[in-house]
């Protein structure tokens, strides 16, 4: 049985959309409706001329391009192996259309076979943090190794001297292939000589395609070379420094060429590596991503899930250098080893990003490593060869090297098994226990390899992780079983394409994933145990919710406290579950909505709600005078008491997932109002209450005149707009 893997983004909230449509009777949805063409607000950086699309077949892409009125498929990622399918495309938009308007144009349009459409999020070039000066100390073999304070605090020398398997084999990363997803690397550097196999240039900076070993693919950039040396600079060769895994094999996966990179480029590089695009049968088991950005991109999440689930790959990702409590991606995806930075005093580095998704920390301040040979010291006219810089970009390859030491002896260990070995052997350098600044602690290489030795000796076991699938649907009030009754028991449920699914344990959000076109959120390589499952994101009334995702949002704060949402139930994750047999929860979500209009000054106001009428396939403004289609009004208050009047609309527990441009609009019909009347709106959705007002009233105006532009989202950024 084929399994299509989609990992999408979502955002819960309730869209009470936005424009003056005019009229008080039925309205037919049309592409000309302003709600259908309003550009999508994209708050994360992205490529403005492109969108990323997940699809079922080529015909679906053709349908999408037709819907957009033009565009072309620039690149594809297609995977169909081991009963798993994955299809994504990069769409180049016509010159008359940018990403915001393209996604706005798709608003309310459900294109058959399209699983998601999103911006192609960008990731800035990871600028290093300037380093302070350190005096050289000298060393016998690798002459600069004594300047590696980072190795000293991680007890690297003791680790390298450990007989791990009882047969004299010491840890150096032998046999482990590490993909460096970064700028191109200077493969001619003398301390990286012999470290490389064929790589892949996904951006067209050096070769566009296979990067042969032993060339300088850095193209004037320094970042990837510095990262590569931290992982695997050759040891005991009389040159400079040693990497954490000084005999690991490196694969240069080039995704930067000056400026920024993007989700599709990164996913393409990983995909090329995991599918052995050059046919040499060499595939990485560890990937280093010293990069990040604000957009939650499902194409990148999906590729990383595939590599973890099908190949046991481990992804080590930088938390970021913002110094803030926030989530950047891909560090925020479930199953990832997210790395923070520490300094020489074993404290959290001031620039290191914090958050509940962090795994471990590693030295990231004043880290000495390899430097491209084209960088010339003007005082000597010779290459620098080595340089100190700082950042979580430098902490991340320390952990990648540590993972390579584990994979050398436990090649089949999963991402979760490796992560727990790192976490349980780390030195607790922050507040006692886990903390969002340093995670489970700063990596200790000696303790790590000792733990691996215990596993090999049969004295200990690794901790198995879990894979979970949560499918979220809503009741379908269409007559899909043709029994003449809308919303009967036989009518097929509607998958919710745009919700965050939170796994909560001990009152804290442990993981968040996003649902796809099938309503499924996939959690790969997460901790087993009992969880409460909460959803937060686009409301179920948004039938085509994928067009409205605030893509950078996640449903937890820096301390792991859950944001607002709706609890679906509980889920037990069992050790050893996988993509082919995940622990599953299927749940039906029905959001709640209550709107109260209160006014003073006398006169007869009417709370108006724009609802979808199934038999006529149109829209109608409902009031207490007319009655409601999908809810109920408390009664028609005619304002006889000038000091206090109110009307309330309550949405039914099961309500119609509105198609096309039909979102729930909230308005005020002031046809019979008197001068001097002021009003307030109080809206409670899924237990969250917001109030707006005072709202000045113009007597004689109708619901169409006063249609408020309201976007309500259950997020933690308090971005409920002002009513105007």
CB-based contact 252:199 (threshold 8 Å): yes
Q: Give the DSSP per-residue string, 210-245.
A: EE-TTSB--TT--HHHHHHHHHHPPSSSSSS---SS
- CA–centroid distance for 456 within its chain: 35
Q: Is 219 left (phi over 0), alpha (psi -120 to 50) or beta?
A: left
Rounded Cα distance, 77 and 299, in Å = 9
Which positions are annotated as active-site residues? 182, 223, 393
Count of beta carbons in the 10 Å neighbourhood of residue 223: 25
Please tell me whether residue 424 adopts helix, strand or coil conformation: helix
Q: Cα separations (Å) of 285 from 131, 297, 314, 405, 662?
A: 31, 22, 6, 12, 48
Q: Which of 295, 391, 403, 316 is nearest to 359 (CA)?
A: 316
Give the containing element (helix H, strand E) for 266: helix 263-274
Return left, alpha or beta for 347; rule: phi > 0 is left, psi -120 to 50 is alpha, else beta: beta
Rounded CA-CA distance 608/599 in Å is 14
| Other beta carbons less than 10 A from residue 422's beta carbon | 27
Euclidean distance between CA atoms 189 and 642, whole angstroms: 83
Q: What does the block give as tokens for 447? A: 């303790």
Q: Which residues contact 600 (CB under 8 A, 6 or more apart)?
A: 642, 643, 644, 645, 677, 678
């Amino acid at each position: 049985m084929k399994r299509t893997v989609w990992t999408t983004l979502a955002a819960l909230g309730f869209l009470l959309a936005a424009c003056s449509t005019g009229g008080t009777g039925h309205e037919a949805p049309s592409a000309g409706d302003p709600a259908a063409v309003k550009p999508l607000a994209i708050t994360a950086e992205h490529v403005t001329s492109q969108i990323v699309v997940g699809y079922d077949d080529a015909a679906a892409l053709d349908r999408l391009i037709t819907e957009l009125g033009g565009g072309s498929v620039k690149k594809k990622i297609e995977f169909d192996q081991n009963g798993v399918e994955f299809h994504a495309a990069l769409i180049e938009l016509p010159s008359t259309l940018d990403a915001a308007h393209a996604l706005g144009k798709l608003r309310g349009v459900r294109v058959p076979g399209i699983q998601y459409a999103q911006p192609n999020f960008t990731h800035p070039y990871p600028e290093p943090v300037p380093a302070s000066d350190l005096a050289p100390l000298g060393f016998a073999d690798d002459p600069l190794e004594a300047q590696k304070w980072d190795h000293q605090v991680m007890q690297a020398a003791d680790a390298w001297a450990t007989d791990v398997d009882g047969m004299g084999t010491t840890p150096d990363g032998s046999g482990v292939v590490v993909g460096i997803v970064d700028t191109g690397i200077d493969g001619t550097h003398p301390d990286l000589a012999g470290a490389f196999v064929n790589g892949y240039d996904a951006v067209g900076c050096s070769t566009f395609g296979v990067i042969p070993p032993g060339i300088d693919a850095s193209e004037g950039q320094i970042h990837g070379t510095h990262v590569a040396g931290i992982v695997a600079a050759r040891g005991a060769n009389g040159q400079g420094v040693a990497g954490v895994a000084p005999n690991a094999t490196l694969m240069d996966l080039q995704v930067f060429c000056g400026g920024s990179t993007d989700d599709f480029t990164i996913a393409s590089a990983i995909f090329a590596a995991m599918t052995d695009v050059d046919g040499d049968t060499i595939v990485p088991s560890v990937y280093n991503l010293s990069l990040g950005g604000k957009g939650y991109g499902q194409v990148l999440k999906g590729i990383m899930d595939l590599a973890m689930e099908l190949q046991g790959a481990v992804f080590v990702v930088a938390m970021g250098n913002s110094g803030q409590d926030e989530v950047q991606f891909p560090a925020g995806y479930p199953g990832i080893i997210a790395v923070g930075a520490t300094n020489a005093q074993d404290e959290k580095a001031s620039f290191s990003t914090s958050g509940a998704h962090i795994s471990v920390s590693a030295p990231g301040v004043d880290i000495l490593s390899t430097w491209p040979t084209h960088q010339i010291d003007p005082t000597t006219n010779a290459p620098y060869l080595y340089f100190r810089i700082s950042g979580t970009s430098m902490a991340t390859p320390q952990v990648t090297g540590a993972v390579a030491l584990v994979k050398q002896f436990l090649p089949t260990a999963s991402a979760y098994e490796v992560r727990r070995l790192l976490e349980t052997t780390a030195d607790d350098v922050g507040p006692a226990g886990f903390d969002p600044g340093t995670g489970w602690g700063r990596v200790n290489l000696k303790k790590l390899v000792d733990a691996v030795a215990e596993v090999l000796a049969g004295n200990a076991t690794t901790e198995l992780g879990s894979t979970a699938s949560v499918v979220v649907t809503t009741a379908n009030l269409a007559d899909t079983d043709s029994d003449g009754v809308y919303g009967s028991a036989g009518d097929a449920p509607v998958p919710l394409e745009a919700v965050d699914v939170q796994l909560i344990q001990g009152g804290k959000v442990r993981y968040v994933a996003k649902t796809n076109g099938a309503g499924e959120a996939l959690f790969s390589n997460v901790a087993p145990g009992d969880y409460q499952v909460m959803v937060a994101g686009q409301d179920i009334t948004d039938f085509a919710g994928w067009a409205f995702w605030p893509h950078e949002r996640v449903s937890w704060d820096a301390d792991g406290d859950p944001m607002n949402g709706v609890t679906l139930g509980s889920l037990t994750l069992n050790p050893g579950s996988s993509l082919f047999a995940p622990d599953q929860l299927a749940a039906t979500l029905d959001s709640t909505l209550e709107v109260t209009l209160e006014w003073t000054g006398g006169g007869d106001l009417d709370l108006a709600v724009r609802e979808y009428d199934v038999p006529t396939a149109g829209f109608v403004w409902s009031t207490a005078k007319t009655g409601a289609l999908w809810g109920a009004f408390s009664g028609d208050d005619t304002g006889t008491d000038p000091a206090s009047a109110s009307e309330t609309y309550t949405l039914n527990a099961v309500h119609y997932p509105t198609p096309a441009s039909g979102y729930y609009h909230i308005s005020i019909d002031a046809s019979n109002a008197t001068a001097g009347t002021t009003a307030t709106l109080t809206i409670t959705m899924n237990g969250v209450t917001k109030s707006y007002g005072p709202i000045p009233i113009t007597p004689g105006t109708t619901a169409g005149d006063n249609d408020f532009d309201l976007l309500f989202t259950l997020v933690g950024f308090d971005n409920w707009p002002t009513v105007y």
